[in-house]
Amino acid sequence: MIGLFCFALAVLGSPFKSKLRLEAENAVLRRQLVVLRRRRRGRVRLTNLDRWFFIQLYRWFPAILKVLIIIRPEILVRWHRAGFRCYWRWKSRPRGGRPQVETELRVLIRRMSVDNPLWGAPRIHGELLKLGFQVAQSSVAKYMVKRRGRPNQGWRTFLHNHAPDIAALDFFVVPTIGFKLLYAFVIVRLDRRELVWINVTAHPTAEWVARQITEAFPWNEAPGYMIRDRDCIYGAVVTRRLRAMGIRDRPTAPASPWQNGFVERLIGSIRRECVDHIIVLGEAHLRRILKSYLRYYNETRTHLALDKDAPVSRPVQRTGVVRSRAIVGGLHHHYLRV
């Protein structure tokens, strides 16, 4: 009944419609019949020509949405907007003018702006000119990484600038063949991960620790800061010795070994690469093994944090015959050209 009523209203209102509008609606209905006859099974398949036909008629006569049956009106509107974007993308294509900046140069500009947060477009532009790149300063400003707030250094840069003046110390325990305990004492500099000092004792005291610190650092090579845990072995004698040498004492928070991560990682390396594979016979035996490992660690062993270099930088050898030399009794080897 409702459908018959709508049909009657359409018949009564047809004389008031324009002739072109009626023809557009008839064309849409005919096209829908063609599409339905073309369908064999399943959903209706529209070709690009069908989409273009409906979009063009919609541009001229938006009222055809009322007679669309096989597609929803919002789909037709979406097609029209997609076509609009494609049209203006084609309309706005480059037609000569200033040449585009190469991808390699854009990546270099972004890397410079990230690596040097204190540099602006003029400074980066000057560096590019010295590298032989002909580019406008406005293009450099366009491809720089946009930052929020004032430019400032990152934590990595801050720590790298202060690491040469920071050292860390700690103890670790090694059992002997007779199930006694020996205490190994290590000091490491943070900038190059250099193992500055290592020694062994069976009875550690504050006086012994203070003497080790004095022997590890000549008076003109002492670091500015010393990181340590809150073990009771570091008594007033140790703190006075550090103060006398011009070293500022920096104990970590209670039960926070992660705050002294450099020396904890070093102790882990010593265990995994040395003492876990050896049965210690006595204090002299352990001291000799650790001294040998100290030379290997500083002069031979490569570190990921140092770009695969040793704490005491190793030169690259390109000529000669490769030879190996056993270290730490054959646990490790040093390869060199002779």
> pLDDT for 81-118, tens place per residue?
887 888 888 888 777 666 678 888 999 999 998 888 88
Longest dimension (CA), the chain: 115
What are residue 199's phi and psi, to 5 degrees? -155, 165
> pLDDT for 129-153, tens place per residue?
888 888 889 889 988 888 776 666 6
pLDDT of 4 > 50? The answer is no
**Contact present, 310 and 335 (Cβ < 8 Å):** no
Higher pLDDT, 3 or 93: 93
Higher pLDDT, 13 or 289: 289
Higher pLDDT, 285 or 4: 285
Q: Where are the alpha helices (DSSP H) in the chain?
A: 2-13, 19-38, 48-60, 73-91, 103-115, 121-130, 137-143, 155-162, 206-216, 236-244, 261-273, 283-299
Tokens of 92: 């706005």
Could you name the CATH architecture of 163-313? 2-Layer Sandwich (3.30)
Domain boundaries, the chain: 17-91, 103-146, 163-313
Higher pLDDT, 155 or 110: 110
Confidence of residue 15 (pLDDT cuts 50, 70, 90): low
Report the pLDDT value the prediction gives residue 8, as an integer from 0 to 100. 43
Report the pLDDT value the prediction gives residue 23, as an integer from 0 to 100. 79
